[in-house]
């Protein structure tokens, strides 16, 4: 069901979201005005409301899209048998998914405070599903006898924080390739949890 190529709403909607994502990542949701977003796209502020009912929904949609894409990509991971292999897949997947999306990571982890309570609950539930996926792998490894840690839930949170923290220092023009980063972090993760 391809739409007409020339359709404006097909192209302007994404441009609005791209501009909003970039500006919010840089300055923060509360510090960015609808006028700024409109200016970035090259339109007037009033026209934005053809693409979002309000500013809050625009933020929510950005975060929701990120989490939906993350969970969908996670689902496509090959489900290997051994926990160690599954943990390596998860670790490399997390890095490969997040490193090319610094703005989404920034917004998704920094703007939770600015979501309405209902929207927050929805994002939080999706994040929880992601954390649980890692926790499942860790528990499987414990059951196998391959992993050993003091607290499985806390370890899952610790590993995700460590991996997501890459966005604190990573620069696309820096000295490290994504593949190298994967190797460094997988070494840390593996040693931290194995017996």
Partner DNA sequence: GTCTATATACGGATAGAC
Partner DNA sequence: GTCTATCCGTATATAGAC
20 binds, among DNA, a second copy, none (CB under 5 to 8 A by kind): none
Q: Interacting stretch for a second copy, rule CB under 8 A, among 5-13, 93-101, 116-124, 149-157?
A: 149-157
Angle subtended at Cα 72 by Cα 67 and Cα 77, rounded to the nearest 5 degrees: 125
176 belongs to the binding site for a second copy (CB under 8 A): yes
Pick 69 or 154: Cβ nearer a second copy: 154
How far apart are alpha carbons 155 and 161 in whole angstroms?
A: 10
Q: Which residue(s) pair with 194 in the sheet?
A: 147
Q: Interacting stretch for a second copy, rule CB under 8 A, among 24-32, 47-55, 71-79, 91-99?
A: 24-32
Query: Which residue in the set 26, 33, 180, 183 belongs to the binding site for DNA (CB under 7 A)?
Result: 33
Query: Which residue in the set 11, 31, 77, 125 belongs to the binding site for a second copy (CB under 8 A)?
Result: 31
Cite the DSSP H helix spans in 42-193: 45-48, 55-75, 83-98, 102-110, 117-144, 152-164, 178-193
Q: Which residue(s) pair with 147 in the sheet?
A: 194
CA dihedral 112, 91, 89, 110 (to 10 degrees): 10
* Binding site residues, a second copy, CB under 8 A: 26-31, 110, 113-114, 149-151, 154-155, 157-162, 164-166, 168-169, 176, 180-181, 183-185, 187-189, 191-194
């Amino acid at each position: 069901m391809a739409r007409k190529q020339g359709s404006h709403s097909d192209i302007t909607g994404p441009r609005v979201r791209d501009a909003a994502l970039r500006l919010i990542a840089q300055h923060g949701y509360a510090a960015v005005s609808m006028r700024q977003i409109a200016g970035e796209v090259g339109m007037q502020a009033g026209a934005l409301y053809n693409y979002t009912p309000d500013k809050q929904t625009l933020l929510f949609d950005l975060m929701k899209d990120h989490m939906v894409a993350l969970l969908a990509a996670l689902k496509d991971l090959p489900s290997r048998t051994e926990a160690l292999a599954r943990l390596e897949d998860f670790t490399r997947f997390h890095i490969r998914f997040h490193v090319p999306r610094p703005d989404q990571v920034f917004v998704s982890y920094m703007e939770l405070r600015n979501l309405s309570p209902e929207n927050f609950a929805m994002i939080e539930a999706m994040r929880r599903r992601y954390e649980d996926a890692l926790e499942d792998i860790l528990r499987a490894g414990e059951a196998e006898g391959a992993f050993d840690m003091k607290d499985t839930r806390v370890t899952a949170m610790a590993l995700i924080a460590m991996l997501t923290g890459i966005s604190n220092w990573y620069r696309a023009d820096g000295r490290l390739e994504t593949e190298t980063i994967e190797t460094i972090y997988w070494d840390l993760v593996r040693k931290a949890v194995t017996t």
